[in-house]
Amino acid sequence: MFNEKIGDKIKEISVIKKLNAHAWMPLVWWSILVAILPYIFSICRLPIVFRVGLLFFIINGVIAYHLGSLISHLNLSRWWLILMPVVFDLAILPKFALYNLMFGLIYLIIELFGLLNKNIYR
């Protein structure tokens, strides 16, 4: 109930209202979430194994698949596929190891699977 009130107040901000009128805004919000989650997990002092396993593989993988299916559902241009991997790579570049950049490519592939949705075998 408390979270709903905060969410409703945020949605009532005029700038947020104008931004949310665009069909592509969920892609931007999810990409921003993917960019800040590694920093939230590191503030919580989760070990690197959990951070990479839980966040980079599972949570971000699910979000990437969702974004791919969302692009297909909203009939957006295929160029939107590169938004989340690029935002993720730019976000982890300053603080995290360079091998984490490969996850951008992995997320792009997972987004393609989400884009194909149920047409993988066709």
Whether 9 has a pLDDT exceeding 60, the answer reads yes
The closest of 122, 75, 116, 84 to 103, measured between CA atoms, is 84
CA distance to 25, 40, 62, per residue, from 106 (Å): 22, 21, 12
Summarised one tens digit per residue, pLDDT across range 62-88 is 999 999 999 988 888 889 899 999 999
Global confidence as pTM = 0.80
State the residue for tokens 């790579």.
89
Q: What percentage of the chain has pLDDT greater than the value 90?
A: 25
Phi first, then psi: give them for residue 76, nearest 5 degrees: -90, 165
Name the maximum alpha-carbon separation found in the chain.
46
pLDDT tens readout for residues 20-72: 677 788 888 888 999 998 888 888 887 888 877 888 889 899 999 999 999 98
Interior/surface letters 49-73, b for 16+ CB within 10 angstroms, e for the rest? eebbeebbeeebbebbbbbbbbbbe
* Residue 106 pLDDT: 93
Residue 90 in tokens? 């730019």
